Amino acid sequence: MANRVVVVGGGVVGACCAYYLSKAGHAVTVVDRGAFGSGCSHANCGYVCPSHVLPFAAPGALWTTLKTLFKRNSPLKVRPRVVLANLRWFTGFARKCNTRDMMAAGRAIQALLNSSRVLFDELIANERIECEWESKGLLFVFQTQKHFDHYAHTDELLHREFNMPAKRFDSGALAALEPALKPGMAGGYLYESDAHLRPDRLMGELKRVLLARGVEIRDNCAARGFASTNGLATALKTSSGEVGADQFVIATGAWTPQLNAELGCRVPIQPGKGYSVTMPRPAICPEYPLIFEEHRVAVTPFASGYRLGSTMEFAGYDDTLNRSRLSLLTDAAKLYLRDPLAEPVQEEWWGWRPMTFDGLPVIDRAPAASNVLIAAGHNMLGLSMAPATGKLVSEMLGAAATHIDAAPYALKRLA
């Protein structure tokens, strides 16, 4: 039965929820506290990466995280005050840094990633979406032999447990594969299943598709809570008045904990701040999207530009642009690339990634109202997981059989 559905959040996850709900025949309204597509979906690195099955919480990650408390600047940075203010989250993270939980989370992550990879091909073809989509893979590059050799264990694990093999390139073969790299790199691994796109173009195209399907989009409309009757939400209270509906989807990313009281639960999301710098393509531009694993920096060559991105900063809801974090991106690019930068810089950007302590999103009904469904906490993989999340949400709201098992994303795992 068709319903009126309000999707709260105009990022890529909310947009994909709206798309699949609309395809299922529902009348959909999307509301966003800012402009549609202007949050963390705007200027990330644009990776659609089935290779990224392992969560942030893994053996050794706790010690790596703790060490950043005493470093002035590092690709991963945790502010001590944030740890003290959010001990429950960081304690949960510490408990998950073991092989058993890493593998369980990895399998649930992979279900969303693999589904989305197929759905992206369908979505782009069926809706004629122009977003600079390229499916040539993702190349992990290592500067030192020590780190290159160490990554072989991760690659073997991904191949054995997740059927996610990579092509290994030693130093000379890597230089031939990607001439934009400086000579002398130790080696690399190419994950051919991965793809990339330009996120701002995708969001513009999704807006076009949604509007053509009759979806209403309301910008600058901040959610304040719900009007409820007999345990069901009847309207979303917003800064622009109430919006009535039969069903509600909360796809508000890092902002979700601010609705905890209204949702009737504690959604354990921390904002993990990522950065990017966008510029024209340099004269010697990489052919492949790259990840410099030792420095936690990513490079994306778009048809229309070039982006350096990544790093992770746990600084709470700090809304300032930290220029030292941008320098980490450009400094790393200079270590690896023959022609690392170009002028003029077109955009310097940051966004809050919605980080859960176990690496999995929450896709489940809210305890306070059974007609409110939460779809948030996609960590660093919101773009990569968005189509599968949207399809899963549509199936759950329609009480249909789900195309992947929804149980791993339930709230009860976080109790």
DSSP string spanning 208-230? HHHHHTT-EEE-S--EEEEEEET
Q: With respect to residue 144, please indicate whether it lies within any of the assigned structural domains.
A: no
CA distances to 229, 345, 401 from 375, rounded to whole Å, are: 23, 34, 18
Per-residue pLDDT tens for 64-112?
776 666 666 777 888 888 988 999 999 999 999 999 999 999 999 999 9
Two tokens, residue 298:
């990513």
CATH number at residue 307: 3.50.50.60
DSSP tag of 368: T
Would you say 199 and 12 are in contact if contact means Cβ atoms under 8 Å apart? yes
Q: With respect to residue 148, please indicate whether it lies within any of the assigned structural domains.
A: no
Two tokens, residue 134:
């390229």
- Closest to 368 (Cα-Cα) out of 282, 289, 281, 260: 260
SS3 27: strand
Q: With respect to residue 145, please indicate whether it lies within any of the assigned structural domains.
A: no
| pLDDT reported for residue 232 | 96
Q: With respect to residue 155, please indicate whether it lies within any of the assigned structural domains.
A: no
Would you say 170 and 145 are in contact if contact means Cβ atoms under 8 Å apart? no
Two tokens, residue 223:
């959610």
Q: With respect to residue 251, please indicate whether it lies within any of the assigned structural domains.
A: yes
Host domain of residue 100: 4-137+193-414
How many domains are there within the chain? 1
Q: With respect to residue 173, please indicate whether it lies within any of the assigned structural domains.
A: no
Per-residue pLDDT tens for 234-279?
999 999 999 999 999 999 999 999 999 999 999 999 999 999 999 9
DSSP tag of 134: B
Q: Find the distance separating the first CA and the last CA of the chain, reported in whole Å.
A: 33
Q: With respect to residue 169, please indicate whether it lies within any of the assigned structural domains.
A: no
Q: With respect to residue 188, please indicate whether it lies within any of the assigned structural domains.
A: no
Per-residue pLDDT tens for 41-63?
999 999 999 999 999 999 988 77
